[in-house]
Amino acid sequence: MRNMDMERYSPVKKERLDPNHYTLSLLIEAERLDLMDQPTIDSIQKQLMVLLGELIIKYTKGESTSVKIETGQRIMLSILYCIDACTRSFNSPKDAINLLTLSSIKEIHQAGLEMVESCLRETEQSYKEIKNKKLDIPVEAYQTTIDQGLLDFFEKYDVFFSAHDTMASIDYPLLFDDMKKQGILYIKQYIRKLELETQFCRFFTLEKISKLLSNYGRVYGIDYREALINIFEIVLTNSIFSVMAGNKANELSITHLQMAHLQELFKDLDTTQCVSIIGETVEALIEKLEIDQTELKKYMRDFTAVLMPRFVCAVENNTLANVIIMDREENLQVDIIFNEGDRLDNDSFCSLVEEIMEHTDPVEKAEIISGGIQTLGDFIDVLEANCLFGEDFRAVYHTLGDLELSVLARIVYMEELRADSSSFSLLNAAEHDANRQWQVEYDRFVQSLSPDRLKSVEKYILSAVQMGDF
């Protein structure tokens, strides 16, 4: 009996209230706890009906006091939505109950209506800002939701008779979308979360995001432009594993070699350890991107709970490639592409060499070569044209991607590869005696590469495709 009395007179607990039907659940709790007597509750109900009658007259522009049942229900829901806006604004449910007891429903509705209108103005301003800052990414649902769906809402929203309605074609899925909210409160949270997601994506270039989405579509066999995908989720996922693989925070690309490294890393970890390393990487990403906005940091941290089930399942079933999106081999970044196009004629080649000789800065020389050379033959001729010295070679080699470095390696280490390609190693091959200066400098450059980079170059050297390229 004592326990029942304690519950009966305890303050109203917010967790017992329905946020989407706040006032009605508040009245139920107030009655249950004897915080409001029956005559007061009856009075509130009568006032609601009177207010409904007044708004029906306003809705019909004074021509009728009756409407279809569906219309009357919609107007009543709109009234309650505005009243909820007012009662929900109090920190304490007890204060909201006191308001309902001491004030008229018409006054509370008017106050709530003003709050809804204010929220509408603020949200419309936020919409204009997100429209101006949206990503130029060809994901149809993202573009049409911002350009048309949300615009339709603001053009059709009726705070008097349909405040609770969310009349819009919003197809783009958020990572965390509160579908229980209604009316302008739903749109407000939608736009705010869309702002956070877009804000994070802006840490990466549009080119990198587009490339990632293209690879994502390839993995899942879909046209990413038409699919209902969440850009933020895909970008954040790859950025987490990209940082884990040793890339800079604003990189999204993950090579096959890096994927192999990640698979090895997670192979012997249990779920707790996986959760820990993912959480630590998210914190590292926040720090490296210098994100100081509390709301965005929380949004990113909350993503861990979404990622972990898929990630753990992928680790257990050896399907990480469905979670971590790798680059296509042919999409790996290279700065000079050796192709089978026409070589430079003699005059053009001599002019290029003269231009190189006019500069002393190694980086400038490398840029001239990068912009003027397209074929392997011309590139080797430049290396042997006595226009490069010492640090110049290093600057030129620094502009090459792993694929191109492997092409040069097959020339420099031709004898070693012919002797035994199966046991070939760049570290061991670099001990041989080079005949030309560019080969000596290549040896030195190779020795300065990281172990992971060496493995990547070696993979291209030994690939069957590479064997027949030149």
3-state secondary structure the chain: CHHHHHHHCCCCCHHHCCHHHHHHHHHHHHHHCCCCCHHHHHHHHHHHHHHHHHHHHHHCCCCCCCCCHHHHHHHHHHHHHHHHHHHCCCCCHHHHHHHHHHCCHHHHHHHHHHHHHHHHHHHHHHHHHHHHHCCCCCCHHHHHHHHHHHHHHHHHCCCCCCCCCCCCCCCCCCCCCCCCCCHHHHHHHHHHHHHHHHHHHCCCCHHHHHHHHHHHHHHHCCCCCCCCCCHHHHHHHHHHHHHHCCCCCCCCCCCHHHHHHHHHHHCCCCHHHHHHHHHHHHHHHHHHCCCCCHHHHHHHHHHHHHHHHHHHHHHHCCCHHHCCCCCCHHHCCCCCCCECCCCCCHHHHHHHHHHHHCCCCHHHHHHHHHHHCCEHHHHHHHHCCCCCCCHHHHHHHHCCCHHHHHHHHHHHCHHHHHHHHHHCCHHHHCCCCCCCHHHHHHHHHHHCCCHHHHHHHHHHHHCHHHHCCC
Taking only the tens place, the pLDDT of each residue in 330-339 is 433 333 445 5
What φ, ψ does residue 65 adopt, rounded to 5°? -105, 5
pLDDT for the residue numbered 335: 37
Q: Which of 17-31, 67-81, 110-124 has the highest mean pLDDT?
A: 110-124
Taking only the tens place, the pLDDT of each residue in 370-390 is 888 877 778 888 888 889 888
- Under 8 Å CB-to-CB from 251, ≥6 apart: which residues? 208, 239, 242
Q: Provide the residue ranges of all domains of the chain, joining segments of one domain with +.
A: 2-112, 114-199, 203-331, 346-467
pLDDT surpasses 90 at 125: yes
pLDDT surpasses 70 at 423: no
pLDDT for the residue numbered 467: 33
pLDDT surpasses 70 at 329: no
pLDDT for the residue numbered 465: 34
pLDDT for the residue numbered 323: 85
pLDDT for the residue numbered 464: 36
Least confidently predicted of 123-132, 326-335, 359-368, 457-466: 326-335
pLDDT for the residue numbered 332: 38
- How sure is the predictor about 234, in pLDDT bands with cuts at 50, 70 and 90? very high
pLDDT for the residue numbered 435: 67
- Under 8 Å CB-to-CB from 214, ≥6 apart: which residues? 224
| Average pLDDT score over residue span 244-268 | 84
pLDDT for the residue numbered 433: 61
What is the pTM for the complete model shown? 0.65
pLDDT for the residue numbered 3: 42
| Average pLDDT score over residue span 161-166 | 84
Least confidently predicted of 22-31, 269-278, 325-334, 365-374: 325-334
pLDDT surpasses 50 at 420: yes
pLDDT for the residue numbered 429: 66
pLDDT for the residue numbered 195: 94
pLDDT for the residue numbered 55: 87
- Under 8 Å CB-to-CB from 153, ≥6 apart: which residues? 166, 167, 168, 170, 187
pLDDT for the residue numbered 407: 80
pLDDT surpasses 70 at 340: no
pLDDT for the residue numbered 9: 44
pLDDT surpasses 50 at 124: yes
* % of the chain exceeding 90 in pLDDT: 24
* % of the chain exceeding 70 in pLDDT: 89
| Average pLDDT score over residue span 34-56 | 88
| Per-chain mean pLDDT for the chain | 83
- How sure is the predictor about 198, in pLDDT bands with cuts at 50, 70 and 90? very high
- Pick the more confident residue, 435 or 267: 267
pLDDT for the residue numbered 432: 59
pLDDT for the residue numbered 331: 38
